[in-house]
Structure 1
């Protein structure tokens, strides 16, 4: 079965170059390559040995497989992967390739003939450094021996202190761990191959980009953070964006995350989110701030858990409720309590830059999320929103804020280009574009699980961009 010699080299774009006894065949995917190899096995009337090569894998670029006539693939257990020896030294390598000593009287005792190329780089460096340092160490020992006994004792004490200070337990903070090594693919056919045959195929560029995005979302923060979602136009997707940014944090980052409404008019967050076991709102929380301690158990009566999204929602009071107590001062007081209990708060704001609630939300926010649909009136009021933020003295927050544009069913390419250019012109940190998604239209209840994959991807990108600014 050693002939024909078959290799399958995997490209970064998941294409596969199959070479059978020097004859190349480009395949668009691994399933296509396996089909081609299975057809070759049929022609031979027996299974076919294949070496799968993944140049992007830093640890195990080769995997040895057997493809049967029916297209099934198993690991070739007859091939033993040679691993570098860790016992060899450059001195042993000089004894000869035969593995026996040429020294008279040595009795031809077998020695390890590991060459320098087989020694891991870290060990090679250690050996080389030791060789270079030997003369200096010998000179230091000679000088120390010539010192009086008292001086030698002092030098020994200093060395002991130095060793003790190198003890990790004596450090004020542990060293920051190095970035995790590239782990094998877990998605697609590469992930399937790794799970089924214990191969170590590297992730595709798309999978690695997804991992990087999730790592950015999970990045540790120095303190609790608040984000205000702003746009002076009603129906401009503020509530939708606020909820789905929070839900993305909840699903990927975890922790105590709140999406709340603090505005002068009735919002729709409470209507579109999951219902709770109560109908209490922001107004009820404000009325009872005097009895609410900084314990999560006290907030159970006011917030609504959102299932698999792993966030809480705090809804605004219904239309017709007594809103006299919902003002800027009460918003800041409520936020002060909430901030001690939630690591991330996303505030859905109102439509008036003159309202004290709007000004308070912008004031307490560490970063802002400007939103706009791909519509002409959204563009005009986006400019007005930015001017309102500047008028409140928060123009410096633009540099750590983002813009989320939601496309319509028939997006205008020129308008979208204008929105992106405008975001760059005013100095926003990032601009994210969310595609049209029918499940988010017409006031439907939020359901993260039925979002289009492109919509999820866009919200993950927006959330990662936002986290970079926090």
Structure 2
């Protein structure tokens, strides 16, 4: 059924590189992904756009048995073998048995009418046969010298003379072997994978952190990870969970200075450092933002306004965005900053934001949108509309609480209240946090049906508009952003 639905167009191929990167070609247009889950997610998105599965020819040059396979990728991300195309396999290497050398005692293993020369070890000829004999098969002399292959098979032993066998003697004919039964594969079978040998890290791997990790690295010990390290591995595994499509999250709060930019950047950086792939922190708002000022500077000063003005020249290739985005080093993300206050903003409206987002979504696996401060602005409304999930933010301050309620009402008025169940609230504590207010914020998040409320501790490195430096974050701050990223990923 699935094979019948997947037509010959578009023509899709997936080639796996030595670094496990995957190059996907759809009708001649190339896309490169850092991992196989990202490539499968992109192909599943293509199938979703078409409303039917797509055929994919997968090439794995490093495979010694199956360099090419024809697969079917469905809208939900499941991968099945295309039963209409036979799997191509490389033939096994052949080796020619070398004749037994003169002067060496030999015996023959007779089983099912076949005779195989066997080198005698310490067992004398004529001893009682055993249930299992050892066959030593030597390769031809013109092949590289290797240890003889040892195969254990049931057989019976008879004594023979050491003289060579005459070439005129009739040879026993091998018994025909039945053809192997065809393997029946059900949809979703885990055996159908482009790279079955690639596996996720086992949770039981030895410790790498703390004193346990030091002992393992220094003395080759095999100590299990501590509970905190095990928790960290589980969080990372959940953040790295494959997604079935590219996703967008909008960070919103109507109050200025409520940590929207800080939260948007550090959520993106957490994804970049742990998950990897194409990730963007973009700024689309009606006022000048600070994302471009606090992130690493680029080789240019172009902004979202320049991108919008030149959308007609941007094809769906990441290389076309080099003139607009700013790479962020070890954070492994890109930043797209808003224009300065004095720029002509007449073209930055809801329609242009959606047009730019449509292009960006085809190039980035995850997009974090930093928004403005007005629910009436078309840019704010467009950002909320295109988002799959919302990230409400607030500091542990009374005015932040009041405007958080106004933000929630703005989302409801726009008709996007159904997104609350896939959204979270990130509360950033002040130097002297109010415990009672923090409790109210948590209860409010539960009342409106948010998926999670995450509290980020006070961190001196994030104060007073300083430049972002992920390495300078306190361990508790990093943990909080990982928790927020896990909560978001669970809803995507």
Aligned to 1:290: 312
- Distance (whole Å) between structure 2 residues aligned to residue 193 and residue 235 of structure 1: 46
Runs of 5+ in structure 1 lacking a partner?
Answer: 1-105, 112-155
Aligned partners of 2:307 and 2:356 also within 8 Å? yes
| Partner SS for 2:341 | coil
Alignment of 1:414-433 (within 5 A): 414-433=436-455
Runs of 5+ in structure 2 lacking a partner?
Answer: 1-126, 133-176
| Partner SS for 2:425 | strand
Aligned to 1:325: 347
1:255 aligns with 2:280: no
| Partner SS for 2:270 | helix
Alignment of 1:400-411 (within 5 A): 400-411=422-433
Q: Over aligned residues, Cα RMSD in angstroms?
A: 2.6
Aligned to 1:219: 241
Report the Cα offset of residue 266 of structure 1.
0.5
Alignment of 1:263-278 (within 5 A): 263-278=285-300
Alignment of 1:85-124 (within 5 A): none
Alignment deviations for residues 207-249 of structure 1 (CA, whole Å, 9 cap, x no partner): 1001111111111111111000000110000000000001111
Alignment of 1:16-165 (within 5 A): 160-163=180-183
- Distance (whole Å) between structure 1 residues aligned to residue 190 and residue 237 of structure 2: 30
Aligned to 1:183: 205
- Distance (whole Å) between structure 2 residues aligned to residue 177 and residue 214 of structure 1: 15
Aligned to 1:80: none
- Distance (whole Å) between structure 1 residues aligned to residue 367 and residue 233 of structure 2: 24
- Distance (whole Å) between structure 2 residues aligned to residue 269 and residue 186 of structure 1: 35
Which has the larger strand fraction?
2
Report the Cα offset of residue 172 of structure 1.
5.3
Report the Cα offset of residue 387 of structure 1.
1.1
Alignment of 1:379-418 (within 5 A): 379-418=401-440
Instruction: Flag the 1:197–1:279 CA change in 2: closer, same or farther, 3 A.
Output: same
Number of aligned residue pairs: give it: 318
Aligned partners of 1:304 and 1:312 also within 8 Å? yes
Quick one: which of 248, 251, 254 aligns to 1:232?
A: 254
Return structure 1 stretches of 4+ with deviation > 4 angstroms: 162-166, 168-179
| Partner SS for 1:183 | coil
Aligned to 1:363: 385
- Distance (whole Å) between structure 1 residues aligned to residue 185 and residue 396 of structure 2: 61
- Distance (whole Å) between structure 2 residues aligned to residue 169 and residue 229 of structure 1: 38
- Distance (whole Å) between structure 2 residues aligned to residue 173 and residue 342 of structure 1: 24
Aligned to 1:346: 368
- Distance (whole Å) between structure 2 residues aligned to residue 217 and residue 318 of structure 1: 34
Instruction: Flag the 1:244–1:165 CA change in 2: closer, same or farther, 3 A.
Output: closer
Aligned to 1:305: 327
Aligned partners of 1:403 and 1:432 also within 8 Å? yes
**TM-score (structure 2 length as normaliser):** 0.61
| Partner SS for 2:250 | strand
Aligned to 1:446: 468
Aligned partners of 2:294 and 2:468 also within 8 Å? yes
Aligned partners of 1:370 and 1:382 also within 8 Å? yes
Aligned partners of 2:203 and 2:233 also within 8 Å? no
Instruction: Flag the 1:171–1:385 CA change in 2: closer, same or farther, 3 A.
Output: same
- Distance (whole Å) between structure 1 residues aligned to residue 260 and residue 189 of structure 2: 49
Aligned partners of 2:285 and 2:372 also within 8 Å? yes
Aligned to 1:116: none
Aligned partners of 1:164 and 1:170 also within 8 Å? no
Alignment of 1:1-12 (within 5 A): none
Report the Cα offset of residue 181 of structure 1.
4.8
Which has the larger helix fraction?
1
- Distance (whole Å) between structure 1 residues aligned to residue 219 and residue 452 of structure 2: 42
| Partner SS for 1:242 | helix
Instruction: Flag the 1:181–1:230 CA change in 2: closer, same or farther, 3 A.
Output: closer
**TM-score (structure 1 length as normaliser):** 0.64
Aligned to 1:37: none
- Distance (whole Å) between structure 2 residues aligned to residue 466 and residue 324 of structure 1: 33
Report the Cα offset of residue 201 of structure 1.
1.2
| Partner SS for 2:289 | coil
Instruction: Flag the 1:178–1:193 CA change in 2: closer, same or farther, 3 A.
Output: closer
Aligned partners of 1:370 and 1:402 also within 8 Å? yes
Aligned to 1:207: 229
| Partner SS for 2:244 | coil
Instruction: Flag the 1:206–1:165 CA change in 2: closer, same or farther, 3 A.
Output: closer
